[in-house]
Every structure is written in structure tokens, then in C-alpha cells.
């Protein structure tokens, strides 16, 4: 049972790393696009929405990996 739990934990950590990387890359892309005076507003809005979705997914995984257990 512990092996399964550890395997799931490692998978969640791996996914968390992927999400954090995508979030960071998207943040950089948003900043670059926003600096362009002729930027595509719809593309920028979509990117920001995706970034918020990623943030939510990251938060869920972080809570699963490190639950806030009251003492």
C-alpha cells in the first residue's frame, strides 16, 4: 500500500513540476506580448485565463502533497 502511495506522490510531484514550468513560461510570454503595442488582446486574455487555470491546478497539487494538518 505504501508503494502505491509513494508512486502516486512521485507522479504528483512530477506533474507539479510540469505545471510550474508551464506557468512560468506562460508568464514570460504574457509579459512579452503585453509589451508589444500592437498585441492581440484576445490572445493575451486567453493566455491569462490559461495561467489562472494552471495556478489553480498547482494549488490543488500542492495541498495534496503538503496538507495543512492542524496540530
User: Sign of torsion, CA 16 21 27 33?
Assistant: negative
Nearest-angstrom CA–CA distance, 70 and 67:
9
pLDDT at 42 exceeding the cut of 60: yes
Per-residue pLDDT tens digits for 8-37: 999 999 999 999 999 999 999 999 999 998
Mean pLDDT over each residue of the chain, to the nearest integer: 91
User: Contact 47/34 with Cβ under 8 angstroms?
Assistant: no
pLDDT for residue 51: 98
pTM for this prediction: 0.83
Domain ranges of the chain: 2-65
Q: pLDDT-derived band of residue 1, with 50, 70 and 90 as boundaries?
A: low
In 3D space, the residue among 67, 51, 69, 62 whose CA is nearest the CA of residue 12 turns out to be 62
Amino acid at each position: 500500500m505504501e508503494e502505491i502511495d509513494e508512486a502516486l506522490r512521485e507522479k504528483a510531484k512530477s506533474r507539479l513540476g510540469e505545471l510550474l514550468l508551464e506557468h512560468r513560461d506562460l508568464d514570460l510570454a504574457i509579459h512579452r506580448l503585453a509589451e508589444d503595442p500592437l498585441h492581440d488582446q484576445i490572445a493575451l486574455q486567453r493566455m491569462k485565463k490559461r495561467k489562472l487555470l494552471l495556478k489553480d491546478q498547482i494549488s490543488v497539487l500542492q495541498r495534496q502533497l503538503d496538507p495543512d494538518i492542524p496540530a
